[in-house]
């Protein structure tokens, strides 16, 4: 993807707000703005394009799907734990999903809290990984995102996990089989964390949130100046709760469709415009 294509992705949102969606108008408008762009901003897009360009070694290697694993709900963390316990029991009776579902419905908020903490951390992990994910072209569904937008703010719990994960993995190991155990242990450690230590992570999270807000305003201001207008109007911020029944895309082989207690909350995806060549300077 070229620097000009990356610029198109950022500018597309503004043009749609202006009512410009036809390919011809879109190309004409973005071409004119690209030519008028100052060199410093152009260079940022060129640097990002160079960073995203695959090396010769990557081109020759076999393509591997690098799409981040889907976010996992509190309910499915609980179901996974029940399934693993059933396997360890070596019971000859088949695993009863309905029985586990009944247990989940009977659990109070306190009992569900560890699983909801795990789901919150996994949601943050998924969001962070999707911000840097670039589809290789094999997936027909494309996700439009700002290519030079600031890194999202991290929650206090996620900052704690970043610090504590190496120590936990040193004990439990780092592999596909230990992911759930590591996540469970992190949730337990977070629950036992003292008030002073938790306050420190809350302060770090607040600083990171302030950093993100500042960088986001600067980024949006740059886009508005490029557009030459007030920019798109934004609606009120939506507070996303963590529904215990939020279904995720999981790569576990033995979870069937019948296990999905809730309805799936899928990320909205918008098709990108076809890649276009950078317009020539007039």
pLDDT interval class at 211 (50, 70, 90): very high
DSSP label at residue 151: P
Please count the CA atoms within 13 angstroms of the CA of 111 that sit on its side-chain side. 8
d(CA 164, CA 186): 7
What does DSSP assign to residue 244? T
When pLDDT is averaged across residues 16-38 and rounded to a whole number, the result is 72
The three-state secondary structure class of 264 is strand
Task: Report which of residues 155 and 66 the model is more confident about.
Answer: 155
Distances (CA, A) of 23 to 29, 30, 31, 124, 225: 10, 10, 12, 35, 23
Which CATH number fits the domain 1-55, given the four candidates 1.20.1070, 1.20.120, 3.10.620, 1.10.30?
Answer: 1.10.30
Burial of residue 139 (number of CB atoms within 10 Å: 0-12, 13-18, 19+): exposed
The better pLDDT of the pair 112, 126 is held by 112
pLDDT at 106: 92
| pLDDT higher at 137 or 222 | 222
- What gap in Å lies between CA 252 and CA 179, rounded to an integer? 12
Cα–Cα dist 188/192, whole Å: 6
At residue 225, does pLDDT exceed 60? yes
Please state the rounded mean pLDDT for residues 113-125. Answer: 89
Alpha helices, DSSP H, located in the chain: 3-17, 23-36, 39-52, 56-60, 74-88, 97-106, 109-131, 156-172, 179-192, 195-227
By the 10 Å C-beta count (0-12 exposed, 13-18 middle, 19+ buried), 190 is classed as: buried
Considering the domain delimited by 106-230, tell me its CATH architecture. Orthogonal Bundle (1.10)
Given a cut of 70, whether residue 245 has pLDDT beyond it is no
**Percent of the chain with pLDDT strictly greater than 70:** 64
Q: Which residues pair with 247 in a beta bridge?
A: 264
- Mean pLDDT across 109-129: 88
26 pLDDT tier (thresholds 50, 70, 90): low
Give the model confidence (pLDDT) of 43-76 as tens digits: 888 888 887 776 544 555 555 567 788 888 899 8
* 70, HSE (Cβ side, Cα atoms, 13 Å): 15
- Judged against a pLDDT cut of 80, whether residue 10 lies above it is answered with no
Kindly tell me the sign of the dihedral angle through the C-alpha atoms of 8, 10, 11, 16.
Answer: positive
Query: How far apart (Å, rounded) are the C-alpha atoms in residues 187 and 122?
Result: 11
Q: What is the mean pLDDT of residues 133-146?
A: 52
CA–CA dist 48, 51 (Å, integer): 5
Separation of alpha carbons 227 and 234, rounded Å? 16
Residue 270, pLDDT above cutoff 60:
no
């Amino acid at each position: 993807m070229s620097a000009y294509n990356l610029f198109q992705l950022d500018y597309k949102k503004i043009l749609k707000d202006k009512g410009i969606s036809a390919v011809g108008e879109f190309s004409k408008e973005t071409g004119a703005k690209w030519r008028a762009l100052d060199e410093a901003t152009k260079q940022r897009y060129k640097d990002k394009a160079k960073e995203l360009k695959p090396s010769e070694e990557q081109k020759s290697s076999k393509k591997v799907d690098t799409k981040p694993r889907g976010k996992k709900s509190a309910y499915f963390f609980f179901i996974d734990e029940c399934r693993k316990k059933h396997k360890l029991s070596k019971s000859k009776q088949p695993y009863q999903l309905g029985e586990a579902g009944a247990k989940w419905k009977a659990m109070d908020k306190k009992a569900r809290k560890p699983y909801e903490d795990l789901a919150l951390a996994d949601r943050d992990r998924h969001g962070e990984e999707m911000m840097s994910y670039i589809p290789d072209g094999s997936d027909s569904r494309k996700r439009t995102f700002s290519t030079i937008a600031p890194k999202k703010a991290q929650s206090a719990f996620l900052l704690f996990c970043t610090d504590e994960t190496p120590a936990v993995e040193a004990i439990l190991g780092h592999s596909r089989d230990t992911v759930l155990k590591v996540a469970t242990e992190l949730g337990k450690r977070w629950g036992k964390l003292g008030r002073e230590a938790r306050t420190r992570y809350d302060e770090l999270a607040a600083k990171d949130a302030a950093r993100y807000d500042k960088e986001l305003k600067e980024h949006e201001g740059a886009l508005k100046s490029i557009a030459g207008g007030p920019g798109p109007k934004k609606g009120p911020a939506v507070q996303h709760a963590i529904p215990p029944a939020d279904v995720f895309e999981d790569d576990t082989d033995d979870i069937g469709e019948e296990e999905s207690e809730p309805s799936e909350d899928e990320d909205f995806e918008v098709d990108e415009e076809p890649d276009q060549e950078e317009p020539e300077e007039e």
